[in-house]
Amino acid sequence: MLTHTGRWRRLFGALTGVAVVLGLMAGAARPAAAAGGTPRPVTAYRHTSEAGDWIGQGSTVAYTPSTASITVEGALEVVRFRVENDSAWWDVVLAAPRGEKLHPGVYRNAERAHSATGRAPGLDVNGQHRGCNVVYGQFAVHQIEADASGDITLLDATYTQRCESPDAPALKGVVKYRAYPLSFTYASEPGDYPGQGRSGTHTGATSVFALREWGVGGLSWDASGKRERWSALLVPPTGERFEAGRTYRTERGSGPGVADLDVSGFGGCNRSHGTLTLTRLARDTDGTVTAFAATFEQHCEGAEPALRGTIHYYA
């Protein structure tokens, strides 16, 4: 196994990006604040190491800015994420295939970042003076952004790394730098028509999300990916405005005291009833919703089978 000394000078010598230290540089545009449900960017690192993995030594670690210094260095071609405190340090390097830039998506067949062959993406996770000679792995970029000078301002990624052989014990981790949650998960009971009894998860690595205004105070949300298309229409009760932290009784079609919830996927409802909880909500200065998080339960046609889900749109 490799002990790392002086590698970063070789790996990042061609990069012009300056280290971005947590709290010293702002990221890209983010949701506006809203009382009672303000979205906050997440910076964190965690990994789980299987027994026999050389890098993580079979342990699980988790860090936030309250327990470690977390920095990002590099640009869209190659990015290095570093976690360090008085007792530990970990480095994660993600590199785009040759001639490309990192963007949301899944990068399979990754090789060791500084020695990747051909057009393979690069991955190198090391720490505590332990590293791989040969890397077998993959990573998913859920979100990534850079400023006008090319410095990384937002990163949300996951990875799986194996040292020396493709069937070696795995190190699996999560990397977040000033990232806002962006996902959709659902679970459909047998007999539920819109979900067809299935369950699934959509993230920025696999799917595209959109949010639009609908009528007065309503929201039209969409997710497309993994051969699926989901949509949700959310309208507050007549004469009201959505509020964070509140649970609404829902039907298909809003009215006094009743919110409109209409979630469709593999099919849709003619009639529905259920509940909708807005856990986070952000509005622009003109009152337009720019980000929200919600959980829902929907029953079609008065039937018992339910479709349940969670939406995170930058909140």
pLDDT tens for each residue of 133-181? 999 999 999 999 999 999 999 999 999 999 999 999 999 999 999 999 9
pLDDT value at 26 more than 80:
no
Per-residue pLDDT tens over the stretch 236-254: 999 999 999 999 999 999 9
Is residue 32 pLDDT above 90, yes or no?
no
- What's the pTM value of the predicted model, to 2 decimals? 0.85
- Could you tell me the two tokens for 267? 């099919």
What is the pLDDT averaged over residues 114-127? 97
Strand order in the sheet with 105-112: 20-21, 69-74, 78-84, 89-95, 122-127, 105-112, 135-146, 152-163, 170-179, 42-49, 60-63
CB atoms within 10 A of CB 156: 26
Structure tokens at 127: 């720490």
What is the arithmetic mean of pLDDT over 216-243? 97
**In this predicted structure, what is the pLDDT of residue 216?**
87
Classify residue 126 by burial, with Cβ atoms within 10 Å: 0-12, 13-18, 19+.
Answer: buried
Please give the pLDDT value at position 30: 53
**pLDDT tens digit string along 275-296?**
999 999 999 888 899 999 999 9
52: left (phi over 0), alpha (psi -120 to 50) or beta: left
Neighbours of 191 (CB within 10 A): 13
- Per-residue tokens: 289: 């919703």
**How far, CA to CA in Å, does 290 sit from each of 35, 94, 112?**
14, 30, 39
Give the span between the Cα atoms of 215 and 209, in whole angstroms.
20
User: DSSP character for 113?
Assistant: G
